[in-house]
Amino acid sequence: MKHLPRASALSAAAVTLLALAACSTTAPSAEGGGGSDDVATGNGVTDSEITIGMLTDLSGPFAAGAAVQVTETQAYWDQVNADGGVCGRDVTVDVQDHGYDPQRAVTLYRSMAPDVIALQQVLGGPTSSAVLPLAEQDDVYVGGVGWAGSALAYPNNQLPGASNAVQAANAVDYMLDELGVAEGSSIGVVYFAGDYGGDSLAGAEHAAEERGVEIVAQEITSQTTDLSAQASALAQADVAGVVLAAAPTQFASLAGVLSSQGADVPIIGMNPTFNPSLLTTPAADALLANAYSITSISPYANTDAPGVQAANDLYAEADPDGAVGWEVPLAYVQAELLKQALDGACESGDLTPEGVVAALGESSSVDTEGLLPDGLDYSNAGQSPTTTVFISKVSADADAGLELLDQVSGPSAESFSYGG
């Protein structure tokens, strides 16, 4: 993904058009502008335009992060369009706000479905759980619903990287392999009630069994902002490390309290648990000392990866004052994944919702220029597309506060399987 100046983008588009016209075996119609070719089309596709949907939360609890993703997604597709679009067509994103309300998400999906070829994103656990089954019936691609294993049950869903269980299994592996946690010791798991936390706990429990450690589980909700009692209980159980499947508030509180109680143990947070603003809180020192983050997606500061660099540049141009964080590469790669699926559908001559889902199911080795681990396999329905995750250390020097340490795929992550 190169970033092209406007003039060259235009000429590239012209070349593509010429090439398409030249290669075409049937006589192209005389309609101007769009790519008219021999692909079958369906909902959301005209001769000149492809419409994709995005159900996000612009007025609810996730409004801030969602806005970053909307900006980046728009910028991505604008660039694609500038480079010639997909299958000779411009891609338009229909962004709707469900406000984290499942009822509204379903209504919006119903009214949107006839006019879109795929859903770029349905943000939020309860909202995506409500929409996924409907989209499966309609055979509509859905991306960007997070990493809960429960979403893998839907063949129309594309998970951006390793699922929560795989992340948590990797966290346990990493503690034993790299952070000096000994076999036979205890590892705490603090998790949100629900799909996200439940899936993470399952992965950690699987790894614990594989690796011979004990799990000390503590269930919390997003209302729990003070983890004193949980931290005391973990310290009392003498845990050698903690896996956290919660949110940034809980990450900071847990790290701070554990450190104040003298429990100097590593804490590994799952995907969305870190936020750069945590480094301004009183827990900053504790986080810098002991906190790690495991993500399915490359951290913002990993600019060695060309994909991340491209994503960051695009965002910096689209919104120079915007908040930076893990949402930037995430939105970019989600759009990239959808683009590859659309390209696949185009190639097989079936630019319909069903065609996109089929293209997704056939993609067994997807690369995203370092944004996600290479070789994502979406052909094995029901399983995580990869067992590889990014492990980062909280760092005051890195952009967005996370410094990439490694990409890992631990033994228990590899042996983990859903439904088995």
Helix or strand (DSSP H, E) at 39: none
Q: Which two tokens stand for residue 111?
A: 């009214």
Q: Please spell the DSSP secondary structure of 283-341, one letter per residue.
A: THHHHHHHEEEEESS--TT-TTSHHHHHHHHHHHHH-TTSPPSTHHHHHHHHHHHHHHH
96: burial class by Cβ within 10 Å (0-12, 13-18, 19+)? middle
Closest by Cα among 408, 388, 392 to 400:
392
How many Å separate Cα 269 from the centre of its chain? 15
Among 140, 278, 297, 308, binds other proteins (CB under 8 A): 278
With b meaning 16 or more CB within 10 Å and e meaning fewer, what string describes 370-382? Answer: bbbbeebebeeee
Task: Give the x-and-dash track for 143-182 against other proteins (CB under 8 A).
Answer: ----------------------------------------
Report if residue 219 touches other proteins, rule: CB under 8 A. Answer: yes
Among 151, 207, 227, 360, binds other proteins (CB under 8 A): 227
Report if residue 320 touches other proteins, rule: CB under 8 A. Answer: no
- Interaction with other proteins in 321-340: which residues (CB under 8 A)? 323, 325
188: burial class by Cβ within 10 Å (0-12, 13-18, 19+)? buried
Listed ranges 104-112, 138-146, 175-183, 277-285: which one lies at the site for other proteins (CB under 8 A): 277-285
Q: Side chain identity at 220, as an amino acid letter?
A: I
Report if residue 59 touches other proteins, rule: CB under 8 A. Answer: yes
SS3 per residue for 217-273: EEEECCCCCCCHHHHHHHHHCCEEEEEEECCHHHHHHHHHHHHHCCCCCCEEECHHH
Listed ranges 86-94, 170-178, 270-278, 333-341: which one lies at the site for other proteins (CB under 8 A): 270-278
Q: How far is the CB of 239 from other proteins (least distance, A)?
A: 11
Task: Give the x-and-dash track for 62-101 against other proteins (CB under 8 A).
Answer: xxxx------------------------------------
Choice between 141 and 332, CB closer to other proteins: 332
Among 11, 277, 379, 417, binds other proteins (CB under 8 A): 277
Among 224, 295, 302, 363, binds other proteins (CB under 8 A): 224
Among 182, 237, 289, 396, binds other proteins (CB under 8 A): 237
Contact 191/201 with Cβ under 8 angstroms? yes
Report if residue 388 touches other proteins, rule: CB under 8 A. Answer: no
Residue numbers at the binding site for other proteins (CB under 8 A): 59-65, 193, 216-233, 236-237, 247-249, 251-253, 256-257, 259-262, 275, 277-278, 280-283, 285-286, 323, 325
